[in-house]
């Protein structure tokens, strides 16, 4: 029943993409309640995904990489939310 931190981060990633089973999510939530480092990982992972999705929506038709200004903006957003 007890998860290692490596297993928890793996399930966290799967959960983010709706690939984790119900029981994996239950075990992950218990682990996140007990392990503050994994809770921080989960929070950072969520923030990164939200930032990525936000920029992805803005650039749907543009297949280029982020310019330096966009990278700096994303970096500032991450730092303020962490």
pLDDT tens-digit series, residues 49-77:
888 888 777 766 555 677 888 888 888 88
The structural domains of the chain, with segments of one domain joined by +, span 5-81
- What CA–CA distance (Å, rounded) separates 80 from 32? 22
Residues 7-45 pLDDT 10s: 999 999 999 888 999 999 999 999 999 999 999 999 999
**Torsion angles phi and psi, residue 59, rounded to 5:** -120, 35
- Tokens found for residue 4: 């290692």
Is the CB of residue 56 less than 8 Å from the CB of residue 40? no
């Amino acid at each position: 029943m007890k998860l290692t931190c490596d297993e928890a981060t793996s399930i966290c990633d799967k959960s983010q993409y709706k690939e984790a089973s119900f029981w994996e999510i239950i075990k992950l939530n218990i682990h996140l309640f007990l392990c503050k480092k994994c809770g921080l990982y989960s929070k950072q992972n969520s923030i990164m995904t939200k930032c990525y999705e936000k920029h992805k929506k803005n650039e749907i038709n543009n297949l280029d990489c982020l310019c330096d200004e966009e990278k700096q903006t994303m970096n500032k957003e991450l730092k303020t939310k962490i």
